A and B are shown apart, each in its own frame.
Chain A
Amino acid sequence: EPEVTQTPSHQVTQMGQEVILRCVPISNHLYFYWYRQILGQKVEFLVSFYNNEISEKSEIFDDQFSVERPDGSNFTLKIRSTKLEDSAMYFCASSERLRKRGELFFGEGSRLTVL
C-alpha cells in the first residue's frame, strides 16, 4: 500500500539553528500538507501546498517557516531559526487531486526537539 514517508524520524537541534524536514508524498497525490503536534496537545494545521504554491497557511506558519517541492517528489518544511516552542511532532500529509472530499494520508511524523 502506498504511504507517505518522512525523514528524519527524530532531530535534535540547538535553538537558532535551521532545520529541514523532508517528506515523500504518495506519488499520484497533488495536495500536500504539514501539521504539527506539540506533546500532549492537538494536531495543528500549518500549511497546504498545491501546484507549487502555498494554498493556505495558519497563523503558526510565520516567516520562520517555508515549504517547497524542489524535485517533484520531496516536499520539505524548513524552519529558519528554531525556537524552543517549535519542539513538536511534525506530520506531512497528502491527498489525491480532484478528491477534495478524500481523506489525508499522513506520514509517521518527524519529532523535532529544540534545546
Chain B
Amino acid sequence: AQSVAQPEDQVNVAEGNPLTVKCTYSVSGNPYLFWYVQYPNRGLQFLLKYITGDNLVKGSYGFEAEFNKSQTSFHLKKPSALVSDSALYFCAVREGGSQGNLIFGKGTKLSVKP
C-alpha cells in the first residue's frame, strides 16, 4: 500500500534562512511525488511534482524538492525563507500508472519568524 510520512508536525525557521520540510514515501512501483501548500482557510495549492528525470525539481514561489530513490525521500527546500511562506505543507504520492488518487502525508506546519 502507498503511504507518505512527514515526520515533523512543525518546522520553525527564521526569515532569510534555508528551510527543509521532510517527506518519505512508500509505493510498490515508480512514485509520482507532489508537494501542496495550504494557507489558512484556503484550499490546497500545487507547488511542484516529480514524475521522472532530474532528481531536483523546481516549483512555485522559489521552492524546490529533491527526489532520493535510495532513501525514498522527497524533501521540500527553499534557500531563503519568507514570512509569507508560513503555511501547512503536504507531501503526496501517487503510484505510477494508477488512476490518479493521491495519498497525502499528515502535513507539516511551517512557521517563518521575522
Contacts and interface: CB of A to CB of B under 8 A. Distances in A.
Contacts of A65: none
B49 A103 contact: yes
Number of chain A interface residues as a range: 20 to 34
A51 B45 CA distance: 25
A103 B34 contact: yes
A48 B34 contact: no
A44 B4 CA distance: 12
A107 B38 CA distance: 11
Interface in B4-46: 32, 34, 36, 42-46
B90 interface: yes
Interface residues of B, number: 25
Given A43-B90, A55-B99, A100-B97, A91 B104 contact: no
A95 B100 contact: yes
Interface in A26-55: 31, 33, 35, 41-45, 48, 50, 55
A33 B101 CA distance: 8
A18 interface: no
Q: Considering residues A48, A93, A95, A106, which has the most beta carbons from chain B within 10 angstroms of its beta carbon?
A: A106
28 contacts: A31-B99, A33-B101, A35-B104, A42-B90, A42-B104, A42-B106, A43-B44, A43-B90, A43-B107, A45-B101, A45-B102, A48-B100, A56-B99, A56-B101, A100-B98, A100-B99, A101-B51, A101-B94, A101-B96, A103-B46, A104-B46, A104-B102, A106-B45, A106-B46, A107-B43, A108-B42, A108-B43, A109-B42
